[in-house]
């Protein structure tokens, strides 16, 4: 059996900065050659294969059938015998795909337009995502059982009174709704920041749920926290589940007691220590969230609306100045490294988390390959989704809805 890395080498498969449609078709074909979905990709995949054979001046043009079957020598190969299919929209670095493949799900379509995330995706899964969803002919999306999307949150500009999901035209959820209308997946799983609940005074969420209901889905939503799924991060996200017949019961999802950060920290590596004055507060308390605000960098504190003597409250200090104890949780990793990662107090010293620790507290397996520069890696992990949380949600979706 030919290995994916050998084919990748021979055909020089790599993510381009512009226009990946050919290589996306080819890798999607490779990933799906044993199921009917491959018919969906075969024509453009074959033309692309012909084109690169010419471009690379290969003596003999490889025939598609000679390349198959492929042994996927990547960290997260597709399952051989799968129980259900899914699509991964706004795929990022594959936080949905890892746990869903572990539960014997087969991914049949991926879309992600960020070059760096696409590279991370290809190296870990052996598939190049299709790019900008707003520019794709959605007929290339095959039929699937579960649609998954951690979509970016955008306001809708119209009144919300119009019929159909025209209200959302021009936003990314519009493209998601179009795919749902076209392919009628059994289950829809959407994820977003907790703030979606309050976004545009609650209208954004209301409109999304209304449109899903118009498409025939019963919906339920819940705020879940990563810290209830075995990782020491206070990261709250809204999860929306839709199904044609049944309402998903969130109460059946298994949670576990919150761990603390200390057990997840690296040993014997180089740390980025704080080398300026800071203050530790007396008697730090564990907040209901599980965070322990233990001190702050000696920078000026907020003045407006701050009562004297309240310096020991975390909200008085700007985020990059706060220090949290490793005996508690870590705040939600931000998607922009430049907005300031948090400082933690561990072993009598103040430092930042290493990139490895960040992937650990998001629940990524050790064998996940981290490519790209550091600030890209921080951005990608902060944008991603907590892997063990998705796994527990998916276990229940499999039990209740498939």
Q: Where on the chain is the footprint of ligand SAM (CB under 6 A)? A: 90-96, 111-114, 117, 132-134, 150, 152, 172, 383-385
| Minimum gap (Å) between residue 97 Cβ and ligand SAM | 8
* Dihedral over Cα of 287, 292, 294, 296: its sign: negative
Helix then strand then coil, % of the chain, to nearest 5: 40, 20, 45
Q: What is the closest distance, in whole angstroms, from the C-beta atom of residue 90 to ligand SAM in the complex?
A: 3
Question: Which residue of this chain has its Cβ atom nearest to ligand SAM in the complex?
Answer: 92
CB of 31 vs ligand SAM, minimal distance in Å: 18
Q: Single out the catalytic residue among 153, 221, 358, 386.
A: 153
| 153 has catalytic annotation | yes
Hey, how many other C-beta atoms are within 10 angstroms of the C-beta on 265?
20
DSSP string, 306-329: PPTT-TTSGGGS-GGGEEEETTSP
Pairs from 274-278 (Cβ < 8 Å, separation ≥ 24): 274/323, 274/343, 274/349, 274/350, 274/351, 278/323, 278/343, 278/350
Find the shortest distance in angstroms from Cβ 358 to ligand SAM. Answer: 13
Q: Which is nearer to ligand SAM, 124 or 312 (CB)?
A: 124
Nearer to ligand SAM, 11 or 148 (CB): 148
Q: Which is nearer to ligand SAM, 301 or 355 (CB)?
A: 355
Q: Which residues pair with 85 in a beta bridge?
A: 106
Nearer to ligand SAM, 172 or 265 (CB): 172
Strand 293-297 with 278-280, pairing:
antiparallel
114: number of Cβ within 10 Å = 20
Q: How many CA atoms lie within 13 A of 49 on its CB side?
A: 23
Q: How far is the CB of 191 from ligand SAM (least distance, A)?
A: 7
Q: How far is the CB of 104 from ligand SAM (least distance, A)?
A: 19
Q: How far apart (Å, rounded) are the C-alpha atoms in residues 324 and 234?
A: 12
Q: How many CA atoms lie within 13 A of 262 on its CB side?
A: 11
CA 141 to chain CA centroid, Å, is 19
Considering beta carbons, is residue 344 or 377 the nearer one to ligand SAM?
377
> Least distance from C-beta 75 to ligand SAM, angstroms?
15
C-beta of 132 vs 166, nearer to ligand SAM: 132
Tokens representing 252 are 């059946």
Query: What is the C-alpha to C-alpha distance for residues 46 and 25, in angstroms, rounded to an integer?
Result: 9
Q: Which of 387, 333, 371 is nearest to 117 (CA)?
A: 371
Q: Give the nearer residue to ligand SAM in terms of CB position, either 343 or 378.
A: 378
List Cβ neighbours of 372 (8 Å cut-off, separation of 6 or more): 116, 119, 120, 380
Considering the complex, what minimum distance in angstroms separates the CB of residue 172 from ligand SAM? 6
Distance between CA atoms of residues 97 and 240, nearest Å: 17
Q: Is the peptide bond before 69 cis (omega within 30 degrees of 0)?
A: yes
Q: In this complex, which beta carbon is closest to ligand SAM, that of residue 172 or of residue 350?
A: 172
CA distance 168 to 114: 23
Please state, in angstroms and as integers, the Cα–Cα distance from residue 32 to each residue in 81, 101, 141, 190, 306, following that order. Answer: 12, 14, 13, 24, 59
| Active-site residue list | 153
């Amino acid at each position: 059996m030919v290995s994916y890395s050998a084919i990748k080498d021979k055909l020089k498969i790599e993510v381009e900065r512009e226009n990946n449609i050919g290589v996306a078709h080819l890798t999607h074909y490779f990933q799906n050659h044993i199921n009917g979905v491959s018919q969906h990709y075969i024509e453009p995949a074959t033309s692309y294969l012909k084109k690169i054979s010419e471009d690379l001046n290969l003596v003999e043009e490889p025939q598609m059938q000679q390349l198959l079957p492929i042994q996927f020598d990547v960290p997260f190969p597709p399952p051989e015998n799968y129980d259900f299919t899914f699509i991964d929209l706004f795929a990022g670095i594959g936080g949905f795909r890892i746990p869903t493949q572990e539960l014997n799900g087969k991914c049949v379509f991926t879309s992600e337009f960020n070059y760096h995330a696409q590279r991370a995706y290809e190296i870990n899964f052996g598939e190049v995502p299709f790019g900008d969803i707003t520019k794709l002919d959605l007929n290339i999306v095959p039929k699937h059982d579960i649609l998954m999307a951690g979509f970016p949150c955008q306001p809708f500009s119209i009144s919300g009174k119009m019929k159909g999901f025209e209200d959302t035209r021009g936003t990314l959820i519009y493209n998601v709704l179009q795919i749902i209308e076209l392919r009628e997946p059994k289950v829809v799983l959407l994820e977003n920041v907790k703030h979606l609940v309050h976004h545009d005074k609650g209208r954004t969420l209301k409109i999304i749920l209304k449109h899903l209901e118009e498409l025939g889905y019963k919906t339920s939503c819940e705020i879940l926290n990563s810290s209830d799924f075995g990782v020491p991060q206070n990261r709250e996200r809204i999860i929306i589940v839709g199904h044609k017949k049944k309402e998903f019961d969130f109460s059946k999802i298994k949670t576990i007691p919150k761990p603390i950060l200390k057990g997840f920290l690296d040993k014997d590596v180089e740390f980025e220590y704080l080398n300026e004055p800071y203050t530790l507060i007396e008697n730090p308390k564990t907040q209901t969230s599980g965070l322990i605000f233990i001190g702050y960098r000696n920078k000026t504190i907020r003045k407006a609306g701050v009562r004297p003597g309240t310096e020991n409250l975390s909200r008085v200090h700007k985020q990059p100045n706060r220090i949290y104890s490793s005996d508690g949780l870590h705040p939600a990793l931000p998607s922009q490294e430049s907005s300031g990662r948090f400082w933690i107090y561990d072993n009598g010293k103040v430092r930042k988390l290493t990139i490895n620790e960040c992937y650990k507290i998001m629940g990524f397996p050790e064998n996940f390959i981290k490519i790209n520069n550091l600030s890209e890696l921080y951005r990608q992990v902060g944008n991603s989704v907590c892997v063990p949380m998705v796994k527990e949600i998916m276990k229940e979706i499999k039990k209740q809805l498939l």
